[in-house]
Amino acid sequence: MRTTVGIIGAGPAGLLLARLLHNAGIGSVVLESRDRAYVERRQRAGILEQGTVDVLRAAGAGARMDREGLPHEGIELRFDRRRHRVDFPALTAGRSVMVYAQTEVCKDLIALQTEQGGPLLFEAEALAVEDADGDRPRVRFRHEGREDVLECDYVAGCDGFWGVSRSAVPADRSQIFERTYPFGWLGVLADVPPSHDELVYARHERGFALLSMRSTSVSRLYLQVPDGTDAGDWRDEEIWAELERRFETADGWRLERGPITQKSVTPMRSFVHEPMRHGRLFLAGDAAHIVPPTGAKGLNLAVGDVVTLARALAHERRTGSADLLDAYSETCLRRVWQAERFSYDMTTLLHRHPDATPFEDRLQLARLARITTSRAAETDLAEAYTGFRLD
């Protein structure tokens, strides 16, 4: 099998890249180790930055998002039983975000790819990327019980943190930067309308809590829990009681309860692999970087990566110049490190470290007070939350 761009992974990064390449007249083949049903139901991110929304619309993948997504023009910060709304459009010249689950983005892009794009092979497990630094890289993969080879001009590694792409970069050419956190998120889906029409980020002495949503009838809620927590150890009643404690306000706001349909624990880590390119192999999304979910940056960073790569490939096709391809890693990493910085800041601002001292607790409250009383500090948060430039 032969193509111009071999794409490993049919998450949002790989699928969007395939769509962008199709629109630019560049052929691709997408290999995905899981089946279609799994890809279309795995729960991940739900907040789309302004730039991501704009890209999906321009790519022809925004129709259902615009019908069913929930535009959000701010978030609420809670601490010391007080509430403060951050107004995004007022602080960012009109920018906002969209609540639209990653599962739905993937469904939309899969439908477009199967109807209009190149081959999308499910249950096609990538085994190795070979000759990445040569003129004709190859992807060995297993599909329908036999091994095959995909020959490419370029390979896009969009196969996540545990995929094979990153391992194709020689160790002596790699740098790893990472931090792990001593807590995670216990996340639940509940069949109850959201108790607030925007996301609520709560800092509490017992730990962080987040009120989010998947739709007007389904709430997504999170609790900070110790690292290694088993979601099964938390009874539904305990979860609701703890959420009510952490979201409590002085004005009598109430959290509405409903049946919990799903529980899981998400570990928290920061990770960056440099460089994001080796020869004709380009890493994108979680294959190259991980952020804690506090800043809602993971999916959006992946979009930024593949937009940059698609532009570079189209530029090379149009002009014969590899300048943008050569700059891919450097261009992406500028945005990646800003997202890492913001995600780290939000995480340390709102989560209570298990060994926190009273001094550190006071510093957290001082940082929150600064955001809620300084337009400059509030603007910095709003600009970062609604998204960094996709260039």
Residues annotated catalytic, as ranges: 72, 201, 293, 297, 385
The H or E element that residue 93 is part of is none
- Per DSSP, the three-state class of 8 is strand
- Per DSSP, the three-state class of 311 is helix
Which value, in Å, is the radius of gyration of the alpha carbons in the chain? 21
Pull the structure tokens for residue 136: 């004709």
- Residues in Cβ contact with 196 at an 8 Å cutoff, skipping those fewer than 6 apart: 76, 211, 253
Residue 11 has φ and ψ, to the nearest 5°, of -85, -170
∠ CA 303-169-317, nearest 5°, is: 55
Within a 10 A sphere around the Cβ of 51, how many other Cβ atoms? 19
Q: Give the rounded distance of the alpha carbon of 348 from its chain centre.
A: 19
The residue among 248, 297, 332, 3 whose CA lies nearest residue 138 is 3
Is residue 186 within 8 A of residue 228, CB to CB? The reply is no
The H or E element that residue 138 is part of is strand 138-143
Is residue 369 within 8 A of residue 84, CB to CB? The reply is no
∠ CA 236-103-237, nearest 5°, is: 5
On the 0-12 / 13-18 / 19+ scale of CB atoms within 10 A, 358 is: exposed
Say how far apart CA 237 and CA 216 lie, in whole Å: 23
